[in-house]
Structure 1
Amino acid sequence: MSAFDQIALTKSVCKIVMAATGLAANKIIIGDINSPAPAGSYCAVRLDSPAQFGQAINSQRDVVATDDPQFKDIIATVATQFTLGFSLNFYRSGALMYAAAICEANKREPVKALLRTAKLGWSRVSPINNLTGLYQAAMEERAQLTLYLYGESIAEDRIQRIYRVGFSAQTEQSGAIAQGEVNGLSG
């Protein structure tokens, strides 16, 4: 991911949930967007706990300078690694079954393909929380788990090299002045 895009990441996880559970796309919603719940069984996906881990990967490469093609600029890249925790909340009939389908889903080919496309890595799944309880005078099945994925946020900066520097120096005793230029093209 070139930038930390919460909506794009959450949509990728919605596709993973769809592939793992068999729920229809319109039954998997992004949590916390204040929209009505779908009829029947559904899942709400929410990015809960992004956390940086490890050390950022730094790299540099030369590119043609923007101001003069005979010179080179540097593109400095910093790739920050993240663990992304997505809360998956399943509601109504089959909630526990759908939550269980997420466990080890990274072994399934459709999920592997989705992870590769989104440039995400599978870390782990938390234990399933059975939240079944009384809701509007009836028992409603509910389950929650957290899916942890690995991701990366990449930032690039252009650094312009200094190719020519003029200087002037004066001594304290004699007042002699030296002037000159350091030119990167002269070697």
Structure 2
Amino acid sequence: MLDEKALSKAVCRIVVAATGLPANKVILADNNTAAPAGSYCAVRLQNPEQFGQALNSQRNVPAEDDPQYTDIIAKVATQFTLGFSINFYRSGAMGYAAAICEANKREPIKALLRTAKLGWSRVSPINNLTGLYQAAMEERAQLTLYLYGESIAEDRVQRIYRVGFSAQTEQSGATAQGEVNGLSG
């Protein structure tokens, strides 16, 4: 499953590395706390969008109930495009937003993306939201950073190693019974 908080924190680290803003000035949006003093950034994960086909794989593991047998671990990796709304407030907002564009070409950003197991897709155009705020102009900028990620789900599938059967013919009523197990060739 997608861990929204961990993904958002990874994007906060990317913003810190790309813009040079201090880590305490790059916050998760909607956290119900007061805004930091001075220039700052708020990051919010928007609706993740699934794309492509899920990647399915299986592997054998020892059975939990009897190690002479094996179970199957079925893995499904769903691919997502993750849109993060990145909002910069106060002095330097437009410059900070511009620093995000093409940031994926920088080595520190590449390392952060690899660590978080994310891929860079694109950055939306920068929206200049500068406007009048409490009788003064306050610089604001917003952009959306699109990253690729995946959500992995694993399920244990227990194999059936022993099956009993009973069959009866319609004409004579003769009954055959037996057992098939995974150890008999």
TM-score (norm 1): 0.98
- Do structure 1's residue 169 and structure 2's residue 184 form an aligned pair? no
Match runs of 1:26-65 below 5 Å: 26-65=24-63
Q: Aligned residue for 1:71?
A: 69
Q: Distance in 2 between matches of 1:165 and 1:87?
A: 55
One-letter amino acid of the counterpart of residue 114, structure 2: R
Once the two structures are superposed, what CA deviation does each residue of 1:3-33 show, in whole Å capped at 9, x if it has no partner?
3100000000000000000000010010011
Q: Aligned residue for 1:141?
A: 139
One-letter amino acid of the counterpart of residue 58, structure 2: Q
Find the partner of 1:102 among 100, 103, 108: 100
Identity across the alignment (%): 83
Q: Aligned residue for 2:123?
A: 125
Q: Distance in 2 between matches of 1:152 and 1:92?
A: 34
Q: Distance in 1 between matches of 2:54 and 2:7?
A: 20
Once the two structures are superposed, what CA deviation does each residue of 1:124-168 show, in whole Å capped at 9, x if it has no partner?
000000000000110000000000000010000000000110000
Long gaps (5+) in structure 1: none
Q: Distance in 1 between matches of 2:69 and 2:182?
A: 9
Q: Distance in 2 between matches of 1:76 and 1:131?
A: 47
How many Å apart are 1:64 and its aligned residue?
0.4
How many Å apart are 1:34 and its aligned residue?
1.1
Q: Distance in 2 between matches of 1:170 and 1:109?
A: 72
TM-score (norm 2): 0.99
How many Å apart are 1:173 and its aligned residue?
1.4
One-letter amino acid of the counterpart of residue 20, structure 2: G
Q: The residue matched to 2:125 in structure 1 has which SS? A: coil
Deviation above 2 Å: which 4+ runs of structure 1?
A: none
Q: Distance in 2 between matches of 1:49 and 1:112?
A: 24
How many pairs does the alignment contain?
Answer: 185
Find the partner of 1:13 among 11, 14, 17: 11
Q: The residue matched to 1:70 in structure 2 has which SS? A: coil
Q: The residue matched to 2:141 in structure 1 has which SS? A: strand
How many Å apart are 1:174 and its aligned residue?
1.0
